[in-house]
Homo-oligomer: A and B are copies of this chain.
Amino acid sequence: MDSAKIQALKTRLDGIAVEDDPALVRKKSRDFYWYSPVLKRVLDSVLGEIVVTPKTEDEVVRTLAAAFALDIPVTPRGAGTGNYGQAMPLAGGMVLDLHELSGIKDIGPGYVIAEAGALLGKIDAATRAHSGQELRMFPSTHRTASIGGFIAGGSGGVGSIRWGGLRNLGNVTRTRVVTMEAHPRVLDLTGDDIAKVAHAYGTNGIITECEVPLTVAYDWIDAIIAFDGMERATAFADALGREDGILLKELSVMGPGVGHRYFSQHGRFLTADQAAVLIMVAPHSASALEAFTRRHRGETVFRSDLIDAETAKSLPPLFELTWNHTTLVARRVEPALTYLQTLYPYPDHVAAVAKMGRLIGDEMMDHLEFIRFDSNIVCSGLPLIRFTTEERLDEIIRIFEDNGCLVFNPHRYTLEEGGMKRSDLGQLAFKREVDPKGLLNPGKMIAWDNPDFDFSDPRPYLFSQPAA
């Protein structure tokens, strides 16, 4: 943008926070893309030119109208905790920072309505205080991530063992979206229409408000069950996930040594070669979990409700060692580590985990997250990888795929290459309708940029439009 355009934008956005301080712009042009050595290389120089921070939906509407009139690309961001460069402005232009749009507008039985920039942890604090409720699911960045960013760029997380993913009908009840047109419209999307903007990185509308279901908040107990060997730990976790009467919020498995080596505080509860199952269980299911653990001869090495209050207070919540936080805490110890995102083929997932372990060997350390997926208990993986070269990383991905595993490649920044979101003709038509100039988060949707895009991809995707 030349300075005339910037001035024109500032004039149109009079009264809205607009900043072009280079340090701030640089900071707001980043997310957690550096988890990936590939994205680190590719995206490191990406920069926006100006940061606009609306405080109300009206200000969002005014901002988008101005950007449309001036042909300025707009890349929205919530809290910037994504890992795939979702919030990074490939084409420069405007970073639309939504963190001030953070009001909690209504809480009722089973639901909360919050503005897009509201942090998940703040929402949970408010709903817990209001009526003992909490979000069904959240990423391990619970404290720092926004609800809008979660819906636009996430897929599930803590709670997915019970409720499935954001992809599932009912896990997001309504999204309010502002279109990128001369006169931006405000759309309330419900039912199947939510799929249009879920996990679309803000490429087809700016989410301003979200209505999501709540469930009852318990004082979840953190538990770590240790096993000799990955296979016993995986079999235990798989069987535990299938126990309909034991209420869990989280169920993950760390390969031998992972916990001991990388968990700065909880590591001391594990030996150097133990595999570990990390669990959040409701207090009234604790005795059933205990009985089930005895059946499997697991060793309960940690229970947050059985340690003294002083120690308990000094520990992070266990979920901050799961999902992508596992990668984060491991990288603090070994910065050369990176990761993959996989889905092992159901119903042979337990065997597939063992097989992939044998095939890849010491280059990989297992990290599994058990989730409910179309009602089946399946396991996804975020294995830690000792990074050597990008070629070897691609080769490892190919080995996974050749063995029937689905890989959601966290080393790509486009929706299609990331592999979670299907770009189909419906998605494309919706983008044409709400962003006719293609100004929203440009460069993230290949189907938009490439007129020869092949829509016939038979690969399964997490997020796809239901057949009409």
Binding site for B on A (CB under 8 A): 109-111, 131-132, 136, 162-165, 168-171, 173-174, 190-192, 213-216, 218-219, 241-247, 282-285, 287-292, 294-295, 372-377, 466-467
Q: Nearest-CB distance from A167 to chain B (Å)?
A: 9
A162 contact set on B, CB distance < 8 A: 244
- Complex Cα–Cα for A377 and B244 (A): 11
Contacts A242-B374, A244-B168, A466-B295; A288 near B173 (Cβ below 8 A): yes
A374 contact set on B, CB distance < 8 A: 242, 244
Contact B169 A110 (CB under 8 A): no
Q: Nearest-CB distance from A346 to chain B (Å)?
A: 11
Residue of B215, B283, B294 touching A191 (CB-CB under 8 A): B294
Q: How many copies does the complex hold?
A: 2
Q: Nearest-CB distance from A282 to chain B (Å)?
A: 6
The 10 A-B pairs at the shortest CB distance, nearest first, are namely A191-B291, A164-B244, A170-B245, A170-B288, A110-B284, A168-B245, A242-B375, A171-B245, A216-B216, A170-B246
Contact A288 B218 (CB under 8 A): no
Contact A284 B241 (CB under 8 A): no
- Complex Cα–Cα for A243 and B373 (A): 9
Contact B375 A244 (CB under 8 A): yes
- Complex Cα–Cα for A174 and B246 (A): 14
Contact B284 A191 (CB under 8 A): no
Q: Nearest-CB distance from A71 to chain B (Å)?
A: 36
A295 contact set on B, CB distance < 8 A: 192, 466-467
A111 contact set on B, CB distance < 8 A: 284
Residue of B109, B191, B219, B287 touching A109 (CB-CB under 8 A): B219
Q: Which residue of B lies closest to A377 (CB)?
A: B375
Interface centre among A213, A219, A283 (most CB of B within 10 A): A213
Contact B109 A288 (CB under 8 A): no
Q: Which residue of B lies closest to A282 (CB)?
A: B110
Q: Which residue of B lies closest to A164 (CB)?
A: B244
Please give 12 more A-B residue pairs, beta carbons under 8 A apart, in addition to A109-B284, A191-B287. Answer: A110-B247, A110-B282, A111-B284, A132-B132, A170-B285, A190-B291, A191-B294, A213-B245, A213-B247, A241-B375, A244-B375, A376-B376
- Complex Cα–Cα for A245 and B243 (A): 18
Contact B376 A109 (CB under 8 A): no
- Complex Cα–Cα for A244 and B376 (A): 9
Contact B292 A169 (CB under 8 A): yes
Q: Which residue of B lies closest to A131 (CB)?
A: B132
